[in-house]
Structure 1
């Protein structure tokens, strides 16, 4: 998989287009919120065998000889007769939110039947009432195979409105050979020998959980005091120039070139980096790491809701999930796909089943936590403080 030029968990770079919905929700203004009984439109799935599916670039399997072909999507269309209009138009969570929020706020169709956004953004959709409840009776694979650790995030208890597309871990990557020692803890980032050689994520939603965990915080139940204590620590490290800079996905370049020795990192990216440099290691710290997801949701008034739900369930067939995991190398939200990969005749494919960054083992899972999201009330002041530290 090629090196990514962006972060799928894109940084929150100011309030921008999202101020209005957040502010409306915080002030209790009902215009933005859509009640559950007003979200469904006229579903044309039965008479119109199609659906519009929007995703991030490079986030699906492709044919090695023809990158325009997407085998798992083609298989779905062949099996069901449903044509999938697949677009890779999501390059930034906030940008995409700004694009479709005016229609959703005004109770209008968006032209999208299924989209993939980071869970912190999915939380915004759910809290605003802009994501439809899926019909789980028509999704037997989701009901049976969804990773138990991802089944009930705080923002969507029971996963009624969202389903993970892929998952991942925010941990620490470092060059063990160049550093000359192991990193086992978030606290290890602050050791003197890493002064000026550490990078952190610039995005508030991407950064905060791991840094809080370094202070022993249970990020499923963190508080405002926990947040500000974490900011105080980071601020001190910035003033001491211990932190080299704050990054998006360009941390991969810094680490590969040796400009930094340790950094916040995503598990899926490190698998790619290790292919070129086996000295790079990924660590789930002793204090824990954040298990996150990017999730599928059906926006309000989608014209092909049933077709979209069928596609979601298709990707929870372990055989299909295995092919997707083998291509994108993120944490697979379908643990049963591991057995499928393990049984492959291809040695490299079979080895993926033993990679804990795709299928975390029991010991690693004990240290993985799904963080509670930042509420709309908290976001305004928290973003202001974090962005001042980062320099945004």
Structure 2
């Protein structure tokens, strides 16, 4: 990796430098949330009010210029003083005061904190929340979120990446709008694999026994395994196909092929030389190369398909500031604003035009395919069809059992 030219704007340059200096990312916190917490959530999660249909709270935005937003840690631009520059700019432009909280350590923990009010359609203390696809799907299916009103947000309408418009759980984005996205694929040491990797099957080469790590979440790891078996994960498949994929995983565990099931601590295993390849997250590979100052690690979506995840803006039924929330979401779909956030968080931005805007912030980042993947890469990064609560519990249980052989 050649030395990156620094951004010209001193304030933005300091943001980029701060981001490069930290290994903390949003995936640091979601990784290892653990099936125990997930299954506890599943056991406790029942639609509130039985057959009661919830209705959105009255919007008081015209008289209350405020907004509260719950997001993940380290998931927005932040300066050395701890301020959030893009939020500051929004407040100055609109006069809307934003209360921003890093309130989501995991989807499950956040839900546990707000579920009593959420299930009743009451104010949970946040007008906007940022939830991952699988969890967003549950919220939509249970009728706990109000329509976001995409038609009222011209920037979002114009600049949402077309490939993200029709989520399987929310066609047309009636209830959700992507905040940031990421990819799960193959990561490797370029010293061990100077020509890279292209297939998940290459991880199962006996010569790599004990030198492989996989993600400790069924969604990420099984997405790649299922697709390697020819399954279209956003199409029709079920228990039989998943069971066949689990057998693949069991074999690799029993053969000693897999050294570890990890969150993003596989990065340390790479650095120590304990592993040479992994099922990995795109953002981690970017960060490791930035820290190394060279392209020591590679990343690719497997030829048969990888996994695309998004964290999404959503408005709970009890949100009382819908118009204010729409203004904020639409603001973050301005390409220049999206580029500033992407320069800090290093995730895949869902905003068309942000790559061109990034040229003024950091030209090297504008060319980085881990932040701005090309069309061919995105075509191979897929999302799951909608997974029911019962399936999620079953799939997670099977995955946990397979991990111990």
Q: Which of 178, 185, 188 is the equivalent residue of 1:164?
A: 178
1:338 aligns with 2:350: no
Greater Cα offset, 192-201 or 362-371: 362-371
For structure 1, which runs of at least 5 residues remain unmatched after alignment? none
Distance 1:382 1:227 in 2: 8
Out of 373, 381, 386, the position equivalent to 2:394 is 381
State the partner residue of 1:101.
115
CA shift for structure 1 position 385: 1.1
Alignment: residue pair count: 378
1:3 corresponding residue in structure 2: 23
Q: Give the CA deviation at 1:391.
A: 5.0
2:253, 2:314 → 1: CA distance?
A: 38
Q: Does 1:58 align with 2:74?
A: yes
Q: Cα distance, 1:69 vs. partner?
A: 1.3
SS where residue 298 of structure 1 aligns?
Answer: strand
2:339 touches 2:357 (CA, 8 Å); kept in 1? yes
Query: Matches of 1:317 and 1:179 in 2, distance apart?
Result: 39
SS in 1 for 2:35: coil
Q: CA deviation at 1:137?
A: 2.8
> Using the alignment, how far apart are the partners of 1:191 and 1:181 within structure 2?
16
Instruction: Choose which of 41, 61, 69 in structure 1 pairs with 2:83.
Output: 69
Q: 1:11, 1:206 within 8 Å by CA — same for their partners in 2?
A: no
Displacement, 1:106? 3.0
Match of 1:296 in 2: 313
Contact 2:187 2:277 in 1 (8 A): yes
Question: Deviations for 1:247-298, whole angstroms, at most 9, x for unmatched residues?
Answer: 1121222122222111111111211011133221111111121122111101
- Give the superposition deviation at 1:181: 5.5
Please name the residue that 1:231 is paired with.
Answer: 246
Q: Which residue of 1 aligns with 2:15?
A: none
Residue-by-residue CA offset, 1:109-145 (whole Å, 9 max, x unaligned): 2111111111111111111111110122321111111
Q: How does 1:7-26 map to 2 (within 5 A)?
A: 7-8=29-30, 11-14=33-36, 15-21=39-45, 24=46
Q: Match of 2:65? A: 49
TM-score (normalised: structure 1): 0.91
CA contact (8 A) 1:7 1:249 kept: no
Q: Distance in 1 between matches of 2:157 and 2:68?
A: 23
Structure 1 distance, partners of 2:299, 2:232, is: 22
TM-score normalized by structure 2? Answer: 0.89
Task: Classify the secondary structure of the residue corresponding to 2:304.
Answer: coil
Aligned to 1:323: 340
In 2, Cα distance between the equivalents of 1:10 and 1:321?
28
Tell me if the contact between 1:177 and 1:279 (Cα under 8 Å) persists in the aligned partners. yes
**Root mean square deviation of aligned Cα:** 1.9
Structure 1, residues 146-197: CA drift from partner, whole Å, max 9, x if none?
Answer: 0111111111111110000001111111102035653110111100121111
